[in-house]
């Protein structure tokens, strides 16, 4: 893992905070409505510590194994930190995910809902969950299709009794993101879900203007990742 210089990280974080505040002002929203999740995958624990020292509390990780390596110590040192799983989750890692994470953003299929539901019951833990919606209907991308979202949301509530709080999307790289943000907001509104996890380094300000309650920002804070995160 490579660590960015602390001063560069602190500057990146301050810049992102300033842009979120500006986007909230443009949209007539309160800054308190938007949570910044620092996506710190591939960056070492000391980088996370430096971000915590700058006041950052919510962090996003993609891999269960990396989280197990990094976070038990960090959580002990900083119990107020909030840990979000933003990457795809295999059903056979549901037990560890429920144990490790406060929020899971990548709920996207009935088999995973079932596995998470069982683990929530076994562990008496109820992490908040976002359903990932594949707003661009891209074949290679995770997420339920927009036309399947209402039924899956209903099942997650009634059948699996999960602590469902919102929806998440990753818009197609080659399309303007706004239409995808608006589609996600529309699906959430008609299902009575208040939280929208959308917006990354390239488009988080736009996401805030379109109603994001959670933005997941990595490289704009920490710099470029030094290796392509393989799916572990
Ligand atoms: C890595 C990641 C991010 C952050 O990406 P950046 O472009 O570095 O801001 C956001 N969301 C998900 C799901 C990610 O995997």
Q: Give percent of the chain with pLDDT exceeding 70.
A: 97
Section 79-97 average pLDDT:
98
pLDDT at 230 exceeding the cut of 70: no
Q: For 3-222, CATH number?
A: 3.20.20.10
Mean pLDDT of the chain: 96
Mutate to test the pocket of ligand 1, among 60, 225, 226 (most ligand atoms within 8 A of CB): 60
- Ligand 1: atom nearest CA of 168 is 13
Is the distance from the beta carbon of residue 93 to the nearest atom of ligand 1 less than 6 Å? no
Torsion of CA 117, 122, 125, 126, to 10 degrees: 10
- Summarize pLDDT for 174-191 with one digit per residue, the tens: 999 999 999 999 999 999
Q: How confident is the model at residue 161 (pLDDT cuts 50, 70, 90)?
A: very high
pLDDT at 70 exceeding the cut of 50: yes
> How much is the pLDDT for 3?
78
Q: Whose CA is nearest to atom 12 of ligand 1?
A: 86
> How much is the pLDDT for 227?
66
Q: Whose CA is nearest to atom 11 of ligand 1?
A: 216
Section 34-46 average pLDDT:
97
The contacts found for 12-16 with CB under 8 angstroms, 24 or more apart, are 12/220, 12/221, 12/222, 12/223, 13/38, 13/51, 13/54, 13/56, 13/221, 14/54, 15/220, 16/204, 16/217, 16/220, 16/221
- Summarize pLDDT for 100-149 with one digit per residue, the tens: 999 999 999 999 999 999 999 999 999 999 999 999 999 999 999 999 99
Distance 192 CA to ligand 1 centre (A): 26
Is the distance from the beta carbon of residue 219 to the nearest atom of ligand 1 less than 6 Å? yes
> How much is the pLDDT for 50?
97
Distance 13 CA to ligand 1 centre (A): 15
pLDDT at 232 exceeding the cut of 50: no
Section 212-217 average pLDDT:
98
Mutate to test the pocket of ligand 1, among 13, 61, 86 (most ligand atoms within 8 A of CB): 86
Q: What is the pTM of this model?
A: 0.96
Residue 164 phi/psi, 5-degree rounding, is -80, 125
Q: Which residue has the higher pLDDT, 229 or 81?
A: 81
Whether residue 180 contacts residue 171, with contact meaning beta carbons closer than 8 Å, is answered with yes
Task: Give the per-residue SS3 of 10-22.
Answer: HHHHHHHHHHHHH
Residue 189 parent element (H or E)? helix 178-190
> How much is the pLDDT for 14?
98
> How much is the pLDDT for 1?
58
**What are the structural domain ranges in the chain?**
3-222
- Ligand 1: atom nearest CA of 200 is 9
Is the distance from the beta carbon of residue 170 to the nearest atom of ligand 1 less than 6 Å? yes
Distance 76 CA to ligand 1 centre (A): 25
Distance 159 CA to ligand 1 centre (A): 30
Is the distance from the beta carbon of residue 141 to the nearest atom of ligand 1 less than 6 Å? no
> How much is the pLDDT for 5?
84
> How much is the pLDDT for 229?
52
Q: How confident is the model at residue 200 (pLDDT cuts 50, 70, 90)?
A: very high
């Amino acid at each position: 893992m490579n660590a960015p210089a602390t001063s560069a990280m602190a500057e990146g974080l301050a810049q992102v905070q300033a842009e979120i505040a500006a986007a909230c002002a443009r949209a007539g929203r309160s800054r308190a409505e938007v949570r910044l999740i620092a996506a710190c995958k591939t960056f070492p624990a000391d980088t996370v510590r430096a971000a915590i020292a700058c006041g950052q509390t919510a962090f996003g990780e993609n891999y269960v194994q990396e989280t197990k390596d990094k976070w038990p110590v960090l959580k002990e040192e900083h119990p107020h930190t909030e840990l979000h799983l933003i990457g795809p989750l295999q059903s056979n890692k549901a037990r560890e995910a429920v144990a490790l994470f406060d929020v899971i953003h990548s709920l996207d299929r009935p088999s995973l809902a079932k596995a998470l539901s069982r683990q929530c019951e076994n562990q008496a833990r109820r992490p908040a969950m976002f359903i990932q919606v594949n707003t661009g209907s891209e074949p290679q991308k995770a997420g339920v299709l927009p036309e399947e979202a209402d039924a899956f949301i209903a099942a997650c509530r009634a059948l699996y009794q999960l602590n469902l709080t919102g929806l998440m999307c990753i818009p197609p790289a080659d399309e303007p993101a706004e239409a995808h943000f608006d589609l996600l907001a529309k699906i959430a509104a008609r299902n009575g879900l208040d939280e929208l996890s959308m917006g990354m380094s390239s488009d988080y300000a736009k996401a805030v203007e379109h109603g994001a309650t959670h933005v997941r920002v990595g490289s704009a804070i920490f710099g470029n990742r030094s290796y392509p995160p393989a799916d572990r």
